[in-house]
Amino acid sequence: MVSGLESVLQGWLFGGDTTGTSFIWNVIWITVLFALIFFFNQRIQLWTYQRNVEKAAVKLEILAERGRERLLEVVKQLGGEGEEKIKAIDNFLEFFAIEPVDRDPYGVLRRLEHILNLRKDRIRSFVAGIAPSASKVQQYNLEGVMEAAIALNLIFRVVRHYLILGKKTRSLFILMQLDMQMPLIMKMAEAYFNALKAFSKGEPIGDGLGPLVAAKLMHGKEKKYVAEEVVASEFDMDGRRVIVLKAEGPGSSVGKPGEAVARLVEQYGGKIARIIMVDAAAKLEGEKTGDVVEGVGAAIGDPGPEKYKIEEAAVKWGIPIDAIIVKMGLDEALSTMKKEIVDAADEVVERIKKIIVERVKEGEVVIVAGIGNTIGIGQ
Amino acid sequence: MSSSSGARNALLAAPFIALIASLVLFVLSIFYQDEEISNLLTLASITTLFAAWWLYFLGRRAYEKEKAAEEARGAVVTVLQCEKCGFREEREFKEGDYVFKKVGECAKCGGAWIISAIYAKPLERKR
């Protein structure tokens, strides 16, 4: 008995008999198969990678467009309407800052700081222009929305650029690299999209862990400005003088904590026993969100200038720096704060108290710096 | 919610039904004596197998979309707490809320009623 499948294969694919017809069919099929394997395999691979990247690029375009729409919606809510403003926002989505030349590294951080200040000032004045009636906190949050929308737009444009370049040059190398990096790129884009949602509503984000810890320590105490957008409280704890600082909330801001620490150290003539820094840090895959870990060094993820100032001050006066980090993913750092991170903040507060009692002598001064974006966190 | 989960269940069940149908057709094609009908049954079996794969693909995509939408709907919670007696309450986040904002007085002891935390609460899944 001939089975159905066998008969179909014989009848439809190989001619159904054992005469010359079958032989010709066999030759045709084998030729086609070999042609596919030897001559078109790379082309097929290229199509596969290209199709994957095209699909991802469409998703990125949707995210960038939805980001833009959300930005326009927020601006409209804050009283900024009209075609001119929409045009200005569309132009501003391609805003960029050129990094300073580093072939001659002398003074590169000073120059970088200057560019970063310029960038911030430009975004701030643009936001003030499109939403003049918004409060300071709303304008700061709008800045965060703007930054996230700019990042989404940039990611989409870069991916589209390489996709078109790969198609034009038929480069398997470009398309393959792009396709293989796509999961990470998509994750990053989704993180920025979630950040955009959190910033538009003024919700605290995971990166606000440092300011949350500082706020818990300084709540109810007198505050003073110690640097641009940085507030600090001084109080006694078990006979030690504690200075806690954070970016001024609840608007979206990271402030200049490096500048603040450097100024405080100088103000006290270098007589600072320790600097304790608290920040959110990227976790490795497999690690748990909200894990609290201790180490040494300046725990701050800025592009360089703020970290440099803290390290300089610490080296000049020989001050030890303790770092306490709370682990989280990039997406968690940029989206609304999770319960695990809120719980970790309480644990960090306890650790800081323990460090102060164990490593700082009575009568000595210690600085506690809560690093991160303080959106949705007051003091 | 119930209509969407019904649709999701149907999308998840469809590929299994198609897979069983494909297997039945294949077995029938083996035992059928008439060669022509046997061939047709085999073809029907292969087609149903592809249909099962396609339905599985569609179902999975719909499930992932629904899962992403559920996650996006996860509520943001504001925790209100009395600084004096520690009494606490939770409510949905409102624009303008921020941690350590004083929102009034405690209904129990008259102490300062502040926002002590704001966090994203994952949506509890109904099984």
Considering only the beta carbons, identify the residue of A220, A249, A336 that sits closest to B98: A249
Place of tokens 């500082």: A214
Q: Nearest Cα to B52, choosing from B23, B16, B83, B27?
A: B16
Chain A residues contacting B via beta carbons under 8 Å:
1-5, 7-8, 11, 201-204, 212, 215, 219-220, 249-250, 335-339, 341-342, 376-379
- Enumerate residues 6+ apart whose C-beta is below 8 A from A6: none
Please give the model's pTM, rounded to 2 decimal places: 0.80
Name the residue type at position B60: R
- Considering only alpha carbons, which residue of chain B is nearest residue A197? B72
B100 touches chain A (CB under 8 A): yes
Q: What DSSP assignment string belongs to A279-291?
A: EEEEPPTTSPTT-
Instruction: Count interface pairs A-B at CB distance under 8 A.
Output: 80
Name the residue type at position B58: L
Q: Is the peptide bond before A250 cis (omega within 30 degrees of 0)?
A: yes
Count Cβ neighbours within 10 Å for each residue of A149-173 and write b for 16 or more, e otherwise: bbbbbbbbeebbebbeebeeeeeee
Looking at every residue in chain A, the average pLDDT score rounds to: 91
Q: Is the pLDDT of residue A300 over 50?
A: yes
Question: For residue A365, what are its two tokens?
Answer: 């001064």
Q: What DSSP assignment string belongs to A301-313?
A: -SSSHHHHHHHHH
Using a 10 angstrom Cβ sphere, with 0-12 exposed, 13-18 middle and 19 or more buried, the burial of residue B4 is: exposed
**Nearest chain B CA: its distance from A105 CA (Å):** 42
Q: How far apart are CA B9 and CA B59, in angstroms?
A: 9
Res. A197 pLDDT band, cuts 50 70 90: confident
Q: Nearest Cα to A260, choosing from A295, A292, A223?
A: A223
Q: Is the pLDDT of residue A81 over 90?
A: no
**Nearest chain B CA: its distance from A379 CA (Å):** 6
Which residues on neighbouring strands pair with residue A36, listed in sequence order? none
Q: For position B72, what pLDDT does the model report? A: 59
Question: For residue A83, what are its two tokens?
Answer: 């075609």
Q: For position A299, what pLDDT does the model report? A: 93
Q: Are B96 and A202 a contacting pair at CB < 8 A?
A: yes
Rg of the Cα atoms in chain B:
28
Average of pLDDT values for A201-209?
A: 94
pLDDT tens across A230-278, in order?
999 999 999 999 999 999 989 999 999 999 999 999 999 999 999 999 9
- Considering only alpha carbons, which residue of chain B is nearest residue A9? B39
**Nearest chain B CA: its distance from A342 CA (Å):** 7
Residue A34: in which H helix or E strand, if any? helix A20-39
Average of pLDDT values for A5-20?
A: 58
Provide, as residue numbers in chain B, all residues whose Cβ is less than 8 Å from the Cβ of A342: 117, 119
Which B-chain residues 80-99 have CB contacts (< 8 A) with chain A?
Answer: 83, 93, 95-99
Q: Is the pLDDT of residue B3 over 70?
A: no
CA angle A228, A234, A240 (to 5 degrees): 140
Q: Is the pLDDT of residue B123 over 90?
A: no
Q: How far apart are CA A234 and CA A267, in angstroms?
A: 13
- Enumerate residues 6+ apart whose C-beta is below 8 A from A250: A137, A202, A374, A375, A376, A377, A378, B98, B99, B101
B56 touches chain A (CB under 8 A): no
Report the SS3 class of residue A203. coil
pLDDT tens across A39-51, in order?
888 888 999 999 9
Q: What share of chain A is helix, strand, coil (3-state, %, to 5)?
A: 60, 15, 25
| Residue A42 near residue A48, CB atoms below 8 Å | no
Q: Are A342 and B119 a contacting pair at CB < 8 A?
A: yes
Q: Is the pLDDT of residue B58 over 60?
A: yes
Res. B13 pLDDT band, cuts 50 70 90: confident
ipTM: 0.82
Please report, in angstroms and rounded to a whole number, the separation of the first and last CA atoms in chain A: 85
- Considering only alpha carbons, which residue of chain A is nearest residue B38? A4
Q: Are B97 and A11 a contacting pair at CB < 8 A?
A: no
pLDDT tens across A82-116, in order?
788 889 999 999 999 999 999 899 999 999 999 99
How many Å is the maximal CA-CA distance in chain A? 104
Dihedral sign for Cα atoms in the order A80, A85, A90, A93: negative
**Nearest chain B CA: its distance from A349 CA (Å):** 14
Q: For position A63, what pLDDT does the model report? A: 93
- Enumerate residues 6+ apart whose C-beta is below 8 A from A280: A206, A207, A208, A209, A210, A325, A326, A328, A333, A341, A372
Q: For position B2, what pLDDT does the model report? A: 45
Q: What DSSP assignment string belongs to A44-66?
A: HHHHHHHHHHHHHHHHHHHHHHH
Q: Are A7 and B35 a contacting pair at CB < 8 A?
A: yes
A225 or B111, higher pLDDT:
A225
**Nearest chain A CA: its distance from B6 CA (Å):** 28
Dihedral sign for Cα atoms in the order B47, B52, B55, B56: negative
